[in-house]
Homo-oligomer: A and B are copies of this chain.
Amino acid sequence: MTDRNRRVVLAERPSGMVDDRTTRLEETDLPTPGEGEALARVRYISIDPTIRTWMDDAPGYLPPIAIDEVVRAGGVAEVVQSNAEQYKPGDMLFGFTGWQEYVLASEAGGYQGLPDGVPPTMALSLFGVTGMTAYFGLIDVGQVKAGDVVVVSGAAGATGSTVGQIAKIKGAAKVVGIAGGPQKCAWIVDELGFDEAIDYKSDDVAARLREAAPEGIDLYFDNVGGPILDACLAQLALRGRIVLCGAISGYNDRSAAKGPANYANLIIKRGRMEGFLILDYLDRFPAAQAEMAAWLAEGKIKSSEHIVEGLEHAPDALNLLFTGGNTGKVIVKV
């Protein structure tokens, strides 16, 4: 164990994607755990689109990351030294670790153990915020039911790929994924069991949606916003539901954000568009994780992780989400 902590801080607010000027890798003294605290070594960091929104100086569901502050992120850390009753060296913890090598955990909480028998990377994907977002967004907010025609965007991403699989488990009549490029489209159909894929980079999305869902879309799980959200609104079925999970198309350029011009179709179709935040469901994670574990054991669901090695590559890993360079959950191995 070194006596130094390496960390990535926010150097200035990005106007588009993060770059060399946006973040700064720096070394500080290793913090010393006080009474009731433990020092934990960060092993894996979860890379999520929402991190980019925290870098803006704009109101959100959490305060913006301050300049010179460690970039906020979820992660898994292993306790290496403890002055706290509840933490033992070797314990694996999940919580906001940030983009750094070491973090202090206090008895006051904020960190929890990993679900039994779940490997650390999967604790950040299927069993983490990503999988839980898919689970509660689709089931609670979207009210998915047997026979639904379900469409999901960002379908080769961490959340989208899980949404499609859960929709099949829940008896959806048809699951259509929207993803970028032939490889991702093949992957969600051949490996994950989606019924159809639409390649937004080469297909006419609106026309393909009309073919794929001629009777309309019962449930659209939106990870991207922008023109794809508009195309799905236009093809909504009677009493269709739209789950707003993210609007990644607008994260790097808020000034360009346009509203969905077809929103008035919600009136004609008696439709519903609803946002949610997974933090509101924390108390129900254990039950959902148990169900996820059963599906995994039965081979009904697959977890897919895209591992990037090295803390210093965390900014590049974040950019992957916006360039579509990833398949499945992006995780930085520290």
Contacts and interface: CB of A to CB of B under 8 A. Distances in A.
Interface of A: 59-61, 225, 230, 244-247, 250, 257-277, 280
B250 A264 contact: yes
B270 A271 contact: no
B277 A267 contact: yes
A277 B267 CA distance: 7
Nearest to A50: B267
A270 B60 CA distance: 11
A275 B280 contact: no
Contacts of A245: 267
Task: Give how many copies assemble into the complex.
Answer: 2
Nearest 8 pairs of A and B residues by beta carbon: A259-B259, A267-B275, A266-B275, A259-B260, A259-B261, A272-B274, A247-B264, A273-B273
A273 B263 contact: yes
A274 B271 contact: yes
A71 B100 CA distance: 69
15 contacts: A61-B268, A225-B264, A244-B266, A244-B267, A247-B267, A259-B261, A260-B263, A263-B273, A266-B275, A267-B277, A269-B275, A270-B277, A271-B275, A272-B275, A274-B274
Contacts of A61: 268
Contacts of A246: 267
A270 B61 CA distance: 10
Identify the interface centre among A225, A265, A266: most chain B CB within 10 Å of its CB: A266
Contacts of A268: 59-61, 275, 277
Nearest to A230: B259
A68 to B, nearest CB: 25
Identify the interface centre among A245, A247, A269, A272: most chain B CB within 10 Å of its CB: A272
A257 B264 contact: yes
Contact of A273 (B247, B258, B266, B276): B266
A10 to B, nearest CB: 20
Contacts of A258: 258-259, 261
Nearest to A279: B270
A261 B257 contact: yes
A208 B127 CA distance: 44
A212 to B, nearest CB: 19
Contacts of A272: 272-275
Contacts of A267: 244-247, 275-277
Contacts of A277: 267-268, 270
B270 A276 contact: yes
Nearest to A250: B264
B264 A244 contact: yes
Contacts of A244: 263-264, 266-267
B259 A270 contact: no
A260 B247 CA distance: 14
A247 B264 CA distance: 7
Nearest to A247: B264
Identify the interface centre among A262, A264, A270, A273: most chain B CB within 10 Å of its CB: A264
Contacts of A260: 259-260, 263
A246 B59 CA distance: 29
A273 B274 CA distance: 6
